[in-house]
Amino acid sequence: MTIRSTCPYCGVGCGVLLQDDGAGGLNVSGDPDHPANRGRLCSKASALGQTVGHAGRLLAPRVNGVDTDWDSALDRVADTFARTIARHGPDSVAFYASGQMLTEDYYVANKFMKGFVGTANIDTNSRLCMASTVAGHKRAFGTDTVPGTYEDLDQADLVVLVGSNLAWCHPILYQRVLAARAARGTKVVVIDPRRTATCDGADLHLPLRIGSDVALFNGLLAAIYEGNAVDTAYVARTDGFDDALTTARCSEIEPTGLDVETVHEFFRLWIGTERVVTVFSQGVNQSSSGTDKVNAILNCHIATGRIGKPGMGPFSVTGQPNAMGGREVGGLANTLACHLDLENPAHRSAVRKFWDAPRIPDAPGLKAIDMFKAVAAGRIKALWIMHTNPAVTLPDADAVRAAIAACDFTVVSDITAATDTARLADVLLPASAWAEKSGTVTNSDRTISRQRAALPAPGAARPDWWHVTQVARRMGFARAFDYDSPAEIFREHAALSGVAGALGRDFDISGLSDLSDGEYAALSPTRWPVAAKGGGRFFADGRSFHDTGRMRMIAVSWRASAAKHARRFPFRLNTGRVRDHWHTMTRTGTSPRLSAHIAEPFVEIHPTDADALGIGPDTLAELSSPTGTAILRATITDAVQPGTVFAPIHWTGETAPTGRIDALVADVTDPHSGQPDSKASFCAVRPFAAAWYGFAVSSRRVHPVSDYWAVARSDAGWRMELSGRAAPTDWEADARALFDLPNASVQMLTDPARGVARFAFHDGDRLIAALFVAPEPVAVMRDYLTELPAEDVLTGRAPADRPDPGPILCSCFGVGVNTILSAIESDGLMSVDAVGAALSAGTNCGSCRSEIAALLERSHMAEAAE
Ligand SMILES: Nc1nc2c(c(=O)[nH]1)N[C@H]1C(S)=C(S)[C@@H](COP(=O)(O)OP(=O)(O)OC[C@H]3O[C@@H](n4cnc5c(=O)[nH]c(N)nc54)[C@H](O)[C@@H]3O)O[C@H]1N2
Ligand SMILES: Nc1nc2c(c(=O)[nH]1)N[C@H]1C(S)=C(S)[C@@H](COP(=O)(O)OP(=O)(O)OC[C@H]3O[C@@H](n4cnc5c(=O)[nH]c(N)nc54)[C@H](O)[C@@H]3O)O[C@H]1N2
Ligand code: SF4
Ligand SMILES: [Mo]
């Protein structure tokens, strides 16, 4: 049987087909009928089948570290919350939710806190993700609504990607853009301080200075005016044009650091192309001027009337699978359900009446950063964290970790038994994972898709909505939380959106409020507005959801960021994502295929800086900031600008404890949205004083204790990178302790004078663990050794007839960099398609095509130089 569902990763919201693999797992393929992906999948989704096993799953409720039954755990949560509220008032408790929760989970969590506990202290990790867009949209449109649809990307003649690494973070949308480029010659411009994989398919890259987007888009607005490109009829229906333009015309391009020619080329292209979509993501949102950046972009589209029409518009792409659904249910501390406003008395009273709720707070609650500060200060005494890992992903993460640890009472609902956050919980509630539960999610273009259970939940795991309703019932709210299925919750949410619609709000899916259970089960992807006119786009007519009915342009100015630490911490730390991992890797980290692309945390440093600091390739670098430290592998590359470094966000206390990058990130926030600036912290960089480096493979998971370690899954077990400040006196004893193999037979090769040692442990003929140590970064064939081979272990090299594939680039077919490079050279391959024809690389999901293109370029440049 084939079950249609939705990919649980990014906000593109691709449809997947799930089939029983006959061994308790799933075969996952793309749904050819889903409008987001039409059958395609990226590398992460192609490996979903490898992530549905039960290893590492939380299987039973746990109170104070001891497994227990549901009744005891739920009673404990309900009693403690009720007691805390009775003693200290409703604002002494808080809920931290997630844009990965299903709409039904999210709706009941929000109803529970705002309607029945009576506090607005519910916020979500979308505060770290979409909050600036929400605030920017509301300022311009009077509602948080994405004007366009994915079809606009197919129909555009110019796609501008601002602070978006679309090739890695929204791969299927990137494939759509590349398809449009092939079909109609769509031009692609990337605006990013870093040269990313996305730039490989672009016509123009603007490597602006971090944080300077407002200056660039103000320049564009002034150029639109000077180039007579203003749509005067459209602008006549808006407010704020004169102020916005005056401010923009006083603005300088200089803060961007870009050369004038490149900037003018971009302006000419943008102004001269009617069908332009400006896509933006975290390089825009995660900034101390995030909301202003959003409005600077919206201003240009409003001024030209290029909004809500085929092939044109500003387009905020959502990160998490249900970031959009979270905005619909009002999951933020300053919003109410169904695009209603918490601070609007009429909205409040309509929702209160609909819910038959005792009270709804009239002031916004604590936003994420302030919420955890209140936890640290002891003002929040009971905290419930659901479907997110804040001990890793919030800025100033060491302080957040300490705050959670010190909180009187913390509940964590998760699928994973050991995360940095779960380890701090008083009560752990086991959740059903995506393939085991039912509900809906809304993607970046407002399409609501069903997630459908295909596997039974293991152990005692139950869906998140059930966790909330069970606690709510125990706290005396039985009638309001009397749901038995997600379908019931969905119908109520849809009905409430009708109330919102009657109050003039745009989010109205009341047409779905009388779906039968069967119709809900069969619901096919549905874009709202449900009664769609104009292709399901908004704002082409210039009407907004402000009381005046008029759009607003907002005067915004570039502000230099406060550089109070610049002397001691001279580098700017930019952070973001890699292609094959999802956030804190609790799911992608269980897939050997996805772990093969990048197996450890790294920092990109410009060659000039690396030289000046004495940091060599593949050595380790130590980063520090006013809040924390990190040790990361140095990747020396001119993809980053001098004076800046880039590090990924994915590593945790479980996978690489010195790679927790948010320990370094300052909790600076945008004044309008409260979103943290995760892309521009101040830090210092220096070489890590390594006395030794190690590489290890093992058939079993081990828990190293060295100053630096990073562990990753491989097909045969686990692989590890290690390093320390002081070399041990007895390598063999240390190796045995590392692998917990006190008595296994060992082959070794040591040269104490050179500081080199190699050990291979066997169980009979089978290699079960090996360790390679050297005073410099260990040069062995890692991808060969991770297979736990039978031969040539201590040499660290594959036999001559088995060339080392190198780091895996194409994760679908397991094709490595070396294999691709040697095929390019020996067969004279000239194109990505030729590489695909020869090796299959890049022919399935296509996520690695831009990296293959970069290898081709590198190889041909090297040839030309010879
Ligand atoms: N593979 C993968 N895909 C994902 C995710 C994942 O974890 N892994 N997570 C999902 C989620 S939740 C999100 S929010 C999205 C994020 O998707 P993206 O926003 O595309 O990803 P990031 O890597 O966070 O940041 C994007 C870029 O912003 C750039 N940037 C930094 N500062 C500035 C600036 O001042 N101006 C400009 N113009 N650019 C700047 C960075 O160099 C970076 O390349 O990805 C989603 N997709
Ligand atoms: N420096 C820096 N920091 C960042 C960012 C950045 O770019 N730079 N990006 C920010 C952004 S945009 C985001 S979205 C956040 C993401 O950060 P988080 O949301 O904290 O990261 P995840 O790893 O997605 O956490 C999801 C958790 O939910 C669990 N889980 C999985 N499925 C289920 C389920 O069905 N139910 C329940 N209850 N639990 C489940 C997982 O095991 C995991 O522990 O990080 C933010 N932090
Ligand atoms: S682009 Fe990839 S990760 Fe995102 S929804 Fe589609 S298949 Fe999933
Ligand atoms: Mo995100």
pLDDT digits (tens, 9 = 90+) for 17-26: 999 999 888 9
Alpha helices, DSSP H only, in 692-774? Answer: 731-739
Question: CB of 370 within 8 A of CB of 384?
Answer: no
The confidence score (pLDDT) of residue 162 equals 98
Asked if the structure places residue 566 within a domain, the reply is no
Are 294 and 426 within one domain? no
801 in any annotated domain? no
Name residue, tokens 């380890």: 423
- 166 Cα–ligand 3 center, Å: 11
The least confident of 219-233, 447-461, 708-722, 778-792 is 778-792
- Minimal-distance CA residue to ligand 3 atom 7: 41
User: Would you state the pLDDT for residue 199?
Assistant: 94
| Ligand 3 atom closest to the CA of 12, numbered from 1 | 5
Specify the DSSP class assigned to residue 132. Answer: H
Nearest to 18 by CA among 36, 56, 55, 45: 45
pLDDT at 532 over 60: no
Quote the ligand 3 centre to 327 CA distance (angstroms): 20
Q: What is the pLDDT of residues 56-83, one digit of tens each?
A: 999 999 999 999 999 999 999 999 999 9
The residue to mutate among 41, 588, 847, having the most atoms of ligand 3 within 8 angstroms of its beta carbon, is 41
pLDDT surpasses 80 at 534: no
Which one of 785, 818, 834 terminates a domain? 785
Residue nearest to atom 11 of ligand 1 (CA): 319
Last residue of a domain, one of 300, 316, 332: 316
Residues 379 and 513 grouped into a single domain:
yes
Backbone Cα Rg of the chain: 27
* Closest residue by CA, ligand 2 atom 27: 388
Residue 588 in contact with residue 655, Cβ under 8 Å?
no
CA distance 73 to 77: 6
Alpha-carbon distance of 454 to 437, in angstroms, equals 8
* Residue 146 CB burial class (10 angstroms; 0-12, 13-18, ≥19): buried
Instruction: Check which CATH number belongs to the domain holding 420 and give it.
Output: 3.40.50.740
Place of tokens 């701090």: 424
- Shared-domain flag, residues 517 and 430: yes
Last residue of a domain, one of 770, 785, 800: 785
Average of per-residue pLDDT across 478-504: 97
Q: Is the pLDDT of residue 715 over 70?
A: yes
Mutation to probe ligand 2, out of 438, 583, 625 (largest number of atoms < 8 A from CB): 583
Span from the CA of 177 to the centroid of ligand 3 (angstroms): 15
Whether residues 104 and 160 fall in one domain: no
For a pocket test of ligand 2, which of 649, 651, 677 has the largest count of ligand atoms closer than 8 A to its C-beta? Answer: 649
Query: What's the 442 CA to ligand 3 centre distance in angstroms?
Result: 13
Would 555 be classed as within a structural domain? no
**Residue 806: pLDDT band by 50, 70, 90 thresholds?**
confident
What residue has token string 């009617």? 274
- The verdict on 431 and 507 lying in the same domain is yes
pLDDT of residue 222: 98
Instruction: Work out the average pLDDT over 466-487.
Output: 98
Q: Judge whether 155 lies within some domain.
A: yes
pLDDT band per the 50, 70, 90 thresholds, residue 190: very high
CA-nearest residue for atom 3, ligand 1, is 169
Domain-located, residue 189: yes
* pLDDT reading at 531 higher than 70: no
| Nearest one of 855, 839, 775 to 803, comparing CA atoms | 839
Same domain for 474 and 334, yes or no, is yes
Q: Is the pLDDT of residue 563 over 70?
A: no
Say yes or no: 425 and 493 in one domain.
yes
Question: Does the pLDDT at position 811 exceed 90?
Answer: no
Query: Which amino acid residue places its CA nearest to atom 14 of ligand 2?
Result: 129
Tell how many helices (H) and how many strands (E) occur in the chain.
28, 36
Supply 250's token pair.
């006083």
Which of the listed residues 9, 192, 561 should we mutate to test ligand 1's pocket, taking the one with most ligand atoms within 8 A of CB? 192
At residue 845 the predicted structure's pLDDT band, cuts being 50, 70 and 90, is: confident
Is 413 a pocket residue for ligand 2 (Cβ < 6 Å)? yes
Closest CA to 172 of 384, 26, 11: 11
Q: What CATH number did the domain enclosing 841 receive?
A: 1.10.10.1100
pLDDT bracket for residue 798 (50, 70, 90): confident
Q: What six digits make up the tokens of 308? A: 């809500």
Structure-token pair, residue 445? 């273009």
The one-letter code for the residue type at 490 is: F
Give the whole-angstrom CA distance, residue 686 versus residue 689: 9
What pLDDT band is residue 866 in, cutting at 50, 70 and 90? low
Decide whether any atom of ligand 3 lies within 6 Å of the 41 Cβ: yes
Query: Quick one: what percent of the chain has pLDDT higher than 70?
Result: 99
CA distances (Å), origin 228, targets 50, 224, 245, 844: 55, 6, 13, 46
Cβ atoms of 719 and 808 within 8 Å: the answer is: no
Atom of ligand 1 nearest to the CA of 212: 35
For the Cβ of 320 lying below 6 angstroms from any atom of ligand 1, the answer is yes
Residue 865 scores a pLDDT above 70: no
pLDDT at 862: 75
What are residue 645's phi and psi, to 5 degrees? -130, 155
Q: Is the pLDDT of residue 533 over 70?
A: no
Indicate whether residue 46 lines ligand 3 (CB < 6 A).
Answer: no
First to last CA, the chain: 57
- Closest atom, ligand 3, to C-alpha of 46: 7
CA atoms within 13 A on the CB side of 656: 32
Q: Which of 354-363, 619-628, 808-817 has the lowest mean pLDDT?
A: 808-817
Query: What is the pTM for the complete model shown?
Result: 0.96
Q: Considering the domain boundaries, does residue 781 fall inside one?
A: yes
Q: What is the pLDDT of residues 212-262, one digit of tens each?
A: 999 999 999 999 999 999 999 999 999 999 999 999 999 999 999 999 999
Structure tokens at 220: 């564009």
Residue in 169, 199, 217 to alter for ligand 1 test, most ligand atoms within 8 A of Cβ: 169
> Considering the domain boundaries, does residue 532 fall inside one?
no
| Domain identity same for 355 and 453 | yes
Q: What is the average pLDDT value for the chain, to the nearest integer?
A: 95
Check residue 850 and give its pLDDT: 83
The b-or-e profile of 500-538 (16+ CB within 10 A means b, else e) is: bbebebbbbbbbbeebeeeebeebebbbbbbeeeeebbb
Tens-place pLDDT, residues 86-123: 999 999 999 999 999 999 999 999 999 999 999 999 99
Same domain, 716 and 766: yes
pLDDT at position 183 over 90: yes
CA 330 – CA 514 distance, rounded (Å):
22
pLDDT at 605 over 90: yes
Judged by its nearest atom, the ligand closest to the C-alpha of residue 433 is 2
Q: What pLDDT digit, counting tens, does each position of 261-292 carry?
A: 999 999 999 999 999 999 999 999 999 999 99
- Chain centroid to CA 545: 30
Query: From CA 550, how far away is CA 186, in angstroms rounded?
Result: 32
Q: What is the pLDDT of residues 727-768, one digit of tens each?
A: 988 999 999 999 999 999 999 999 989 999 999 999 999 999
Domain CATH number, residue 9: 3.30.200.210
Print the SS3 string covering 214-251.
HHHHHHHHHHHHHCCCCCHHHHCCEECHHHHHHHHHCC
**Residue listed under structure tokens 């890695």:** 168
Q: Does residue 379 sit in the same domain as residue 459?
A: yes
Domain count for the chain: 6
Question: What CATH code is carried by the domain that includes residue 162?
Answer: 3.40.228.10
Task: Calculate what percentage of the chain has a pLDDT beyond 90.
Answer: 90
Taking the centre of ligand 4 as the mean of its atom positions, its distance from the CA of residue 127, in whole angstroms, is 9
User: Alpha helices of 730-816 — where are they, by DSSP H?
Assistant: 731-739, 782-785
Question: How many angstroms is it from 10 CA to the middle of ligand 3?
Answer: 5
Nearest bound ligand to CA 42?
Answer: 3
Cβ contact 30:40 at 8 Å: yes
Centroid of ligand 2 to alpha carbon of 320 (angstroms): 9
Who contacts 559 (Cβ-Cβ below 8 Å, separation ≥6)? Answer: 214, 288, 289
Helix, coil or strand: residue 694: strand
Instruction: Name the DSSP class of 254.
Output: G
| Shared-domain flag, residues 287 and 350 | no
Coil, helix or strand at residue 514:
coil
Q: Are residues 44 and 68 in the same domain?
A: no
Q: Residue 20 belongs to what domain range?
A: 2-51
566: pLDDT strictly greater than 80 = no
- State residue 418's pLDDT score: 96
CA–chain centroid gap for 382, Å, is 27
Q: Would you say residue 226 lies in a domain?
A: yes
Q: What is the mean predicted confidence (pLDDT) over 488-506?
A: 96
